[in-house]
A and B are shown apart, each in its own frame.
Chain A
Amino acid sequence: VIPGEFDYSAPASLDDAISLLALSEDEAKPLAGGQSLLPLMKLRLASPTLLVDLRRLPGLGGVERSNGDFSVGALTRHAQVAETPELGIAARAAALIADQQVRNRGTIGGTIAHADPAADMPAVLLAAEGFVVVRGPRGERAIGAGDLFLGYLTTALEPGEVITRVVLPALDGYGFHYEKFARRAEDWAIVGVVALIAIRDSVCEDVRIGLTNMGATPLRAFAVEEALRGKRVDAETIARASERAADGAEPPEDLNATPEYKRELAHVLTRRALERALETASPSPSVRPARLHRPDQLAAGAAAGAAPGRGGDGGLTLRQSFDVKAPLERVWSSFVQVEPIVPCLPGAELTGASDGVFHGNFRVKVGPASASYRGTVKLESVDEASHTLVMSASGQDQRGQGSASATITLKLGEAEDGGTHVEATSSFSITGTLARFGRSGMIEDVANLLMRRFAACIERKLTGKGGPASGAPMGAIGLALSLARERVLRVLERLRTGR
């Protein structure tokens, strides 16, 4: 309930704010409306050492229209967006964010930078194909919505970069609707669907569907769009197309919904949103063709690459595999020694060892949330014959945010190219406030990324190829970029295997 200690600064110029944020990198957070950041700090899921208050900065408010776009100042409150009907879909969605108190404080720039997949505005930006203007230490740039959301609470913003404006195409004549499904009016969406549609002579000239809370990022339902674009639109075509709303999405389970239920909700809500959008569509829209995309990229979300599953003990189990281009015996001997491989785990640090028990720290960070575990790793069993190794790890968060434990089974085998194939099965159990982050597939995302970095580092260590083996704590930006790369790799893999 009471946040950790932090410094506070309210600079008078944007350049000063950027300098402050860039200097302290991931230890500093910009403060806009504070409706997401402050609760995270009060739960001690986030503990920035410096808050840079943006609210006194000039020029970050207001809504302007030019060249067919609406440029909305990043500090514009949700309430103001909701009361600006020209903004169409953005106004409709803003009116449904949380409750009036939150809408009076929360900002459009803040909610987009926070990138909670259950928040409403990210899916609007994605469907409208808008972009954000950001200013940072290296000047100003624009980031398109499709490139902005990289993972759970993770965007392409670099340290020190601040969103200054959110630009939304006017989409004149488009019918629009946001169908938000939540248990209570003030709740986050269980699923939300943004529908934008342009109709001429009953034919769909353009359509965009954005999905809220169907993955680690907001998603586009490209399959529905494909099924409607250029077609005659009536209740039946809409109903049929909507059945594909969840194609490619891998929504995580949470307290309110199973993946199956979310997929069904996406289907039903997409149909309803399109029906309502159709009612508001003008007969002569000024169509802005949607950016081209390949249908193969349907699941453009940051879903986990490995197969996550609920283990018999109720904990989370992940199965991963990777290859190391080094001989089996060399890899095996470094694994059984433990010490050589620990520094390869990003954020891990070995502080001591005794009687086969290794002591150390492990720090992990996602968006504004972080955990810093102190604990032990123990070699439970070593089977030379089958090259199978069982390790147990457990730790306590140093800020009292709970504990984590894992049992990791590593099975090594010879790969076809003479290298080593490693199969890892990990059962995690996380307690405390951090465990609630498990709801959105974040743990899978992070675990997969850690494993890939671990594999790459092991390879560098054993073969001397590549960059230095680094065990530095993983910063937000490194994680963000890596998650983006992860997704690209997955898409490539899907193309290759024809899935």
Chain B
Amino acid sequence: MFAQIVGEALGLDPERVAVLHGDTDEGPFGMGTYGSRSAAVGGTAAARAAAKVADKALRIAAALLDVSQDEVERTDGGYQIRDTPDAAVTHEDVARAAYVPERLPKDIEPGLEETAFYDPDDFLWPFGAHAAVVEVDAETGKVTLVRYVAVDDCGRVINPLLVDGQIHGGITHGVGQALYEQIVYTPEGQLATGTFVDYGLPTAAELPSFETDLTETPTPINELGVKGVGEAGTIGCSPAITNAVVDALRPLGVTGIDMPLSPLRVWQALKNVEHGRGAP
């Protein structure tokens, strides 16, 4: 996604963009990836830094071609004098000139590196609607997720595959929160869910094939129009499932159950209404 943004700004194939991850020593200060902000905030900063690089590259290309910037246009492989493919320089020529500057005019500082910092003017609000169809076994309390439909709007979609992957992963996480995952300590303070045997993460066997779709409403807050998607799946999922279960049990008098909706909790909620004690 970062490679796509930078590649687009520089006129380069994204595969030629190397993104350095996971080392705060390598990059300038940033506050990290939280609040679904990687694309919207980090992406915008990357786009702005790339735009600065592109501006300078254009100046260098114009100098190499010995014309004014207005007369230069970008091509697939580099730059040329407008409508004149014979008078062209490649990206590599421009980059080499930036660092081996004997052909560079004195008024252009050598180097082709830029940093951009970006602080958004306002919050971004991706939105969506999630619907879950569940079956509840009224005798055992077991909840089975039968169908899951999610339509999200994260603004402009930079990479549809990544967006769908984020939503799938988020929904799965939400299913875990709604139905399985819980840290349990005994009264003596012993962690009772110390392995994934006891701390239940959902697996593919527990999940239906998700049905996902997107609407695309770009945000005016940043120039990319992106609103972020990291939390869309998780945020929509847990309430969709919990409400579906409570909706299924409402005719029996259940009005609420705390997550995770384990078979035991659902069964106990049903027992409670059976005995006229109301929902927990």
Contacts and interface: CB of A to CB of B under 8 A. Distances in A.
Interface string B242-265: 000000000000000000001110
Q: Which 10 A-B pairs have the closest CB atoms?
A: A314-B187, A185-B205, A268-B139, A435-B190, A431-B190, A429-B188, A261-B264, A184-B206, A257-B264, A184-B200
A433 B194 contact: yes
Contacts of A264: 267
A111 to B, nearest CB: 16
Contacts of B142: 181, 183
A264 B179 CA distance: 21
Contacts of A256: 262-264
B192 A268 contact: no
Contacts of B262: 183, 256
A340 interface: no
Given A190-B263, A256-B263, A431 B202 contact: no
B268 to A, nearest CB: 8
Contacts of A258: 264
Interface string A470-483: 00000000000000
A268 B139 CA distance: 7
Interface residues of A, number: 30
Interface of B: 139-140, 142, 179-180, 184, 186-190, 192-195, 197-198, 200, 202-203, 205-206, 262-264, 267-268
A432 B190 contact: yes
Given A184-B205, A258-B264, A402-B190, 5 more contacts: A186-B203, A313-B188, A431-B190, A432-B190, A436-B198
Interface in A369-425: 402
A184 B186 contact: no
B180 A268 contact: no
A68 interface: no
A318 to B, nearest CB: 16
A254 to B, nearest CB: 9
11 contacts: A99-B205, A183-B200, A185-B203, A256-B264, A261-B267, A268-B140, A313-B187, A314-B187, A315-B188, A431-B190, A435-B190
A450 interface: no
Nearest to A257: B264
B188 A431 contact: yes
A439 B229 CA distance: 41
A307 interface: no
B140 A184 contact: no
A99 B140 CA distance: 23
A431 B139 CA distance: 35
Given A256-B262, A268-B140, A433-B194, A184 B187 contact: no
B24 to A, nearest CB: 28
A184 B202 contact: yes
